[in-house]
C-alpha cells in the first residue's frame, strides 16, 4: 500500500510538472503583435510602442543559479520593464543542445508573457562572423551554426507574438584588426541572408541589425542600408564610446537612423570606476543616464539596460535580494517614471 501511494504521488508530481511547462505553440499568448511602421514600432492597433527594459544574463547561468523562474521576471517588471533580452551565448547553446536550450527559452518566454513583457532573442557573440574570429571562447561560432540557430528560432517561434525581436548578432567587430577584415557590404550581405532565412519560415519577429565597433557605429546605414523591409537597427552606446558632451556625437554615429528606421539600443548602462566589474567602455555616473533618458525620450528611441544580474557587469543589483547597484537605483527609478 505504501509503495502504491508513493507511485501515485510520484505520478501526480510528474504530471503537474509536465503540464506546467511553457507552451512553445503559444496557445495562451495574449501579447499583441509588434510590427514596423515607418520608423516606429507599432502594436496591432497601429499605436506607437516604445520599449524599455533589461537584458537578463544567459538563461544557462540563471538556471544553474536557481533563478530562471517567474520571480526573476516579476522583479524585472517591477523595475519598470516592458521587454527582456535573452543573450544566448553560442557556447551555452552547444552545451545544452538545441532541444535543451529551446526548452529554457520556452520557459523564459512564458515567464515574460506572464509578467507582461516582450522578448528579444539575442545571438550573443562578439567578433567577426565573416572570418569566424571572435573575442573569446564563449563567443566562438560559425556562419553555419548562426544560420541554423536562426532557422530553428524561426521555426519554433514564428507564431509566438511575445517574441518580438531577433537580434541577429550581438556585437560585430574586427577588434582593431585582430579578427580579420569585414566590409560593411560583406556584413550587410550576411545579415540579409539571415533575414531571408527568418522570412523563409514566415516568421514575423523583427530582425535587429547591429553595426561595427562592438555594435556602436551605424554610419554606413546612411548611404547603404540593409535591403529588407520591416527590420530595425541596433546600437550599444556605452558612455566611454565617446567623450562628453555625448549628444551631437550620438546623432552622428547612430541617432540619425531614427529619422527613417526604428532604432533600439539593446545595451546601455554604466557603473562607477570602483564598482565591481568596472571596465571600459561602461564607466561613468548618473549624468550618462540623464543624457540617455533625455535623448531617447525626445526621439522615441527604445532601449534595454545591461544587465539584470548580481555578477555580470555593469550589474543592476548586488545580491539575490535585488539590492540595487548605483545604476540599478537609477534605472529602476527612471523606468518607473511615466
Residue 328 pLDDT > 70:
yes
Alpha-carbon distance of 91 to 102, in angstroms, equals 14
Sheet holding 133-134, edge to edge: 133-134, 126-128, 171-172
With cut-offs at 50, 70 and 90, classify the pLDDT of residue 16: very low
Q: What burial class does residue 175 get, using C-beta atoms within 10 Å of its C-beta: 0-12 exposed, 13-18 middle, 19+ buried?
A: middle
Phi, psi angle pair for 308, to nearest 5°: -85, 80
Alpha-carbon distance of 263 to 85, in angstroms, equals 15
Full-model pTM? 0.91
DSSP string of 74-105, one letter each residue: HHHHHTT-SEEEEEE-HHHHHHHHHHHHHHHH
Do 263 and 233 contact (CB within 8 A), yes or no? yes
146 sits in which H/E element: helix 143-157
Q: What is the mean pLDDT of residues 223-242?
A: 98
pLDDT at 30: 76
Residue 3 pLDDT > 50:
no
Length of the chain: 338
Phi, psi angle pair for 311, to nearest 5°: -115, -50
Alpha-carbon distance of 10 to 4, in angstroms, equals 10
With cut-offs at 50, 70 and 90, classify the pLDDT of residue 9: very low
Alpha-carbon distance of 282 to 274, in angstroms, equals 12
Give the tens place of pLDDT for each residue, 126-179: 999 999 999 999 999 999 999 999 999 999 999 999 999 999 999 999 988 889
Residue 305 pLDDT > 50:
yes
| Percent of the chain clearing pLDDT 70 (strictly above) | 91
Q: What is the mean pLDDT of the chain?
A: 92
pLDDT at 29: 55
pLDDT: which is higher, 13 or 316 = 316
Alpha-carbon distance of 257 to 218, in angstroms, equals 8
Residue 217 pLDDT > 90:
yes
According to DSSP, the residues that pair with 197 across neighbouring strands are none
Do 62 and 68 contact (CB within 8 A), yes or no? yes
pLDDT at 232: 98
With cut-offs at 50, 70 and 90, classify the pLDDT of residue 235: very high
pLDDT: which is higher, 140 or 15 = 140
Bridge-based pairing of strands 118-123 and 163-167 is parallel
With cut-offs at 50, 70 and 90, classify the pLDDT of residue 264: very high
Q: What burial class does residue 319 get, using C-beta atoms within 10 Å of its C-beta: 0-12 exposed, 13-18 middle, 19+ buried?
A: exposed
pLDDT at 117: 98
Give the tens place of pLDDT for each residue, 287-296: 999 999 999 9
Residue 90 pLDDT > 50:
yes
Q: What is the mean pLDDT of residues 65-69?
A: 98
pLDDT: which is higher, 20 or 64 = 64
Q: What is the mean pLDDT of residues 250-278?
A: 98
Q: Is the dihedral of CA 228, 232, 238, 242 positive or negative?
A: positive
Greatest extent of the chain over all pairs of C-alpha atoms, in Å? 77
Under 8 Å CB-to-CB from 96, ≥6 apart: which residues? 60, 104
With cut-offs at 50, 70 and 90, classify the pLDDT of residue 185: very high
Residue 215 pLDDT > 80:
yes
Residue 23 pLDDT > 60:
no
Q: Is the dihedral of CA 187, 230, 103, 112 positive or negative?
A: positive
Separate counts of helices (H) and strands (E) for the chain? 10, 13
Amino acid at each position: 500500500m505504501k509503495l502504491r501511494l508513493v507511485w501515485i504521488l510520484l505520478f501526480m508530481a510528474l504530471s503537474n510538472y509536465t503540464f506546467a511547462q511553457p507552451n512553445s505553440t503559444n496557445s495562451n499568448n495574449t501579447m499583441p503583435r509588434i510590427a514596423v511602421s515607418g520608423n516606429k514600432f507599432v502594436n496591432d492597433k497601429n499605436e506607437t510602442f516604445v520599449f524599455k527594459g533589461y537584458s537578463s544574463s544567459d538563461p544557462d547561468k540563471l538556471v544553474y543559479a536557481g533563478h530562471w523562474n517567474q520571480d526573476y521576471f516579476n522583479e524585472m517588471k517591477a523595475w519598470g520593464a516592458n521587454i527582456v533580452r535573452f543573450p544566448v551565448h553560442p557556447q551555452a547553446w552547444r552545451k545544452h543542445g538545441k532541444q535543451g536550450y529551446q526548452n529554457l527559452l520556452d520557459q523564459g518566454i512564458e515567464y515574460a508573457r506572464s509578467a507582461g513583457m516582450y522578448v528579444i532573442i539575442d545571438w550573443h557573440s562578439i567578433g567577426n562572423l565573416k572570418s569566424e574570429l571572435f573575442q573569446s571562447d564563449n563567443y566562438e561560432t560559425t556562419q553555419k551554426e548562426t544560420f541554423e540557430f536562426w532557422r530553428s528560432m524561426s521555426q519554433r517561434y514564428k507564431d509566438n507574438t511575445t517574441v518580438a525581436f531577433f537580434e541577429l548578432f550581438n556585437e560585430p567587430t574586427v577588434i582593431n584588426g585582430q579578427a580579420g577584415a569585414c566590409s560593411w557590404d560583406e556584413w550587410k550581405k550576411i545579415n540579409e541572408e539571415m533575414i531571408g532565412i527568418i522570412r523563409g519560415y514566415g516568421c514575423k519577429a523583427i530582425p535587429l541589425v547591429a553595426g561595427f565597433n562592438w555594435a556602436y557605429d551605424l554610419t554606413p546605414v546612411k548611404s547603404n542600408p540593409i535591403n529588407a523591409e520591416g527590420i530595425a537597427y541596433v546600437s550599444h552606446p556605452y558612455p566611454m564610446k565617446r567623450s562628453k558632451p555625448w549628444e551631437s556625437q550620438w546623432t552622428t554615429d547612430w541617432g540619425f537612423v531614427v529619422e527613417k528606421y526604428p532604432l533600439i539600443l539593446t545595451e546601455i548602462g554604466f557603473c562607477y570606476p570602483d564598482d565591481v566589474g568596472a571596465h571600459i567602455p561602461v564607466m561613468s555616473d548618473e549624468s550618462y543616464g540623464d543624457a540617455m533618458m533625455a535623448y531617447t525620450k525626445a526621439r522615441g528611441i527604445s532601449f534595454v539596460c545591461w544587465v539584470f544580474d548580481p555578477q555580470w557587469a555593469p550589474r543592476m543589483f548586488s545580491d539575490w535580494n535585488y539590492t540595487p547597484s548605483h545604476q540599478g537605483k537609477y534605472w529602476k527609478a527612471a523606468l518607473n517614471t511615466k
